[in-house]
Amino acid sequence: MHNLTREEKLTLTRYLTEPRRRIDTFFAYAIYFVPSLLFGLYGMLKTDFLAVAVGYVVLFGLVLYLISYQRRATPLLRSAVGKLVENCGAANKTASD
């Protein structure tokens, strides 16, 4: 690819190969949030504060992970797409000359 760094190439590849359907995305994250949701529901039914706390902490951890992932991936994706757009613009300009 056009003078992209290794990280930019990996980010583009990951973006293009991620599940596209909503059900695929749901099941990709369900492994994380369903157990914590069940812990929370169990804790509410049994009035077990510890189970509710575990469920909440796991969900909070998942949110923090997703935020940190987005903070790393977004600048790389923007940089890679910017380079591709610049290269396409330069190629179109050369072709029209």
Residue whose entry in the numeric block shows the structure tokens 């990709």: 28
Contact in structure between 81 and 4 (CB atoms under 8 Å): no
Question: Would you call 18 helix, strand, or coil by DSSP?
Answer: coil
Say what the pLDDT of residue 16 is: 80
Q: What is the pLDDT of residues 18-77, one digit of tens each?
A: 767 777 778 877 887 888 888 888 888 999 999 888 888 988 988 898 889 888 888 888
pTM: 0.59
CA–CA dist 1, 3 (Å, integer): 6
Q: Higher confidence at residue 46 or residue 9?
A: 46
Stretch among 6-15, 21-30, 84-93 having the lowest mean pLDDT: 84-93
